[in-house]
Amino acid sequence: MPETIDLLLLGAGQLITCGSSGKGPRRGKGLSDPGLVRNGAIAVKNGRIFAVGSEAAVRKRTGGASIVKTIDAEGRTVLPGWVDPHTHAVFSTYRADEYEARIRGDSYLQIEERGGGIKRSVHDVREIDEERLFQISRRRLMRMLEGGVTTLEIKSGYGLEREAELKMLRVISRLAKETPLDIAATFMGAHQKPPEHKQGDEFVRLLVEDMIPAVAASGLAEFMDVFCEKGVFDLEETRRILEAGKSHGFKLKVHADEIFAIGGTELAVEMGAVSVEHLVQVTPRGIEKLSTSDTVAVLLPGTSLGLASRKFAPARELIEAGAAVALATDFNPGSAPSSSMQLAVALACSQMGMIPAQAILAATYNAACAINREKEVGSLEIGKKADIVIYDVEDYREIPSRAGLNHAVQVLKEGRVVWEIKDYKLRSEVGL
C-alpha cells in the first residue's frame, strides 16, 4: 500500500526555512542566514513536516505516495508561522486615550501615577465576566492568526490578586484548547503593585506565600515573569519573587531595563531565566552578560512605537556581542496595542538596524527558543509541526519593507488551512 502524504505544498518561489543551528538560538553571523530555498516544497504527514527542500527533492522523496491535498504557492514566499514570545493578549479594553496623552507629552510613569496604565487594566479585568474576557480575547487571537502568528506566549498580570490572576490563566488555558494556536502561559502576578497594597513588601509577601503556590498548584502556567523596574519591583524584591517561583517549578522570565537600568538583565542571567524582555536601556555590562548566557533577549519594538518614543533596544549591539535575540509584539491594551508580528519585524529593521533575515529569524526560531518551543515550531524542518504561512510577495524582504499591510494570504497550522483569503490570486501582483 503506498504511503499517504496529507499535504504537498509546491511552487514556493522563496521557501524560508529558518532552520535551527542545533545548538540553541541563532547568534551573531548565524542570525543572517534565513535558510532560503528557491522553488521550494514541503510535504506534510500527520501534521508534521515529512520532507522539505527544493521541489525536485521533495517530489523525489514522496514519489509513489498517495497525495491527499496539494497547494501551489505559484511563486509566492513561504515562511514558518510567527512565534510571538511576549504578549498580554488577555485584557478587557484598550487605553487609546493614553496614547494621545503620551503624544501630548505625558510620560508612562505620569500616566501610571494618576491611575492609568497597568492599574487601569487591572480594574477592568477584575470587573469583567470570565466568559466575556474569553470571547474578546479569542477574537484578538484569531486576528493574530490572520497575520501569520501560529504560536504565542500570553502573560497574566492584570489581576494582581489570586482569584483575578487565576481567572486570566483559566482564560489562557481555554484559548489554548479552543483556538488553533499553540499558547505558552506565563504567570505575571508581579506586573505591578496594586493600589490596595500601599506597602510594597506586603504584596511581595502575598505573592511569595499565597499567589505563587496557588498558581503552581493549579498547573495553569509554565513560566513566571516579574517587572523589574524603578517604582515597580526593585532588584531585591525581584530576586525574592524569582526564587519563590523557581522553587515552585516555574521557568523564569524578567521584564527588565525598559525605562531605567537597575540591573534586571544581570539578575535574569544570574537566575538562569529563559528570557529577559524589553532591554531598551540595557547597559554594556548587561549585554556582556547576555552574550555568554543561554538567556534570550526578547526585544519589543512595537512598545517604543506605542509609547511614542524614539528610543529602541540596541539590537545591533546585542547581535554583534553574540547575544541570542528574539522579537515579540508586547501586544497589550496600552503601551503596545498592535498585535502584528509583521509590524514588529518591520520596526526591527527600520528602527533597530536588523536586516530582514535577522528580524525574521528572531521572530520565528529564536522566538520559539524564548518559550522553549524550538523543538516543535519556529522553523520548517523535518519532524516539526507544519506551521506554514504563504505570503503574497515574491521576496521575503518585502514583508518588512512594505510595512503596514498584512501580506499573509494562507495560514496552515499542523498542515491544516486555518485561515485564507479566498480570492487573493485575483488581486495578486506575484507572477504578473
Per-domain residue ranges of the chain: 4-81+378-427, 82-369
Q: Give me the DSSP letters along 271-321.
A: TT-SEEEE-TT--HHHHHHHHTSS-EEEE-HHHHHHTT-S----HHHHHHH
Are β-strands 77-80 and 82-84 bridged in parallel, bridged antiparallel, or unpaired?
A: unpaired
Which pLDDT score is estimated for 127? 97
Q: Note the pLDDT tens digit of each residue in 23-78.
A: 899 999 999 999 999 999 999 999 999 999 999 999 999 998 999 999 999 999 99
Q: What is the chain's pLDDT, residue by residue, as a tens digit (432 residues)?
A: 579 999 999 999 999 999 986 789 999 999 999 999 999 999 999 999 999 999 999 999 999 899 999 999 999 999 999 999 999 999 999 999 999 998 998 887 788 888 888 999 999 999 999 999 999 999 999 999 999 999 999 999 999 999 999 999 999 999 999 999 999 999 999 999 998 886 778 999 999 999 999 999 999 999 999 999 999 999 999 999 999 999 999 999 999 999 999 999 999 999 999 999 999 999 999 999 999 999 999 999 999 999 999 999 999 999 999 999 999 999 999 999 999 999 999 999 999 999 999 999 999 999 999 999 999 999 999 999 999 999 999 999 999 999 999 999 999 999 999 999 999 999 999 988
Task: Give the phi and the psi of residue 170 in degrees, each rounded to 5.
Answer: -65, -40
Question: Could you say which DSSP state residue 405 is in?
Answer: S
| Count of residues making up the chain | 432
Are β-strands 4-16 and 77-80 bridged in parallel, bridged antiparallel, or unpaired?
A: parallel
d(CA 175, CA 429): 36
Question: Could you say which DSSP state residue 24 is in?
Answer: S
Asked whether this chain's domains 4-81+378-427 and 82-369 adopt the same fold, the reply is no
Cell numbers placing 147: 497575520
Which pLDDT score is estimated for 111? 86
Nearest alpha carbon to residue 70 among 46, 47, 44: 44
Ramachandran category for residue 81: left, alpha or beta (phi over 0 → left; psi -120 to 50 → alpha):
beta
Class of domain 82-369: alpha beta
Q: Note the pLDDT tens digit of each residue in 202-248.
A: 999 999 999 999 999 999 999 999 999 999 999 999 999 999 999 99
| Architecture (CATH level 2) of domain 4-81+378-427 | Roll (2.30)
Q: Please report the beta strands in 162-293, taking only residues with DSSP state E, as ranges in sequence order.
A: 182-190, 223-228, 251-256, 275-278
Nearest alpha carbon to residue 225 among 387, 85, 37: 85
d(CA 362, CA 319): 11
Nearest alpha carbon to residue 215 among 152, 271, 170: 170
Ramachandran category for residue 86: left, alpha or beta (phi over 0 → left; psi -120 to 50 → alpha):
beta
Which pLDDT score is estimated for 22? 76
d(CA 220, CA 88): 16
Decide: 253 and 296 in contact? Cβ < 8 Å. Answer: no
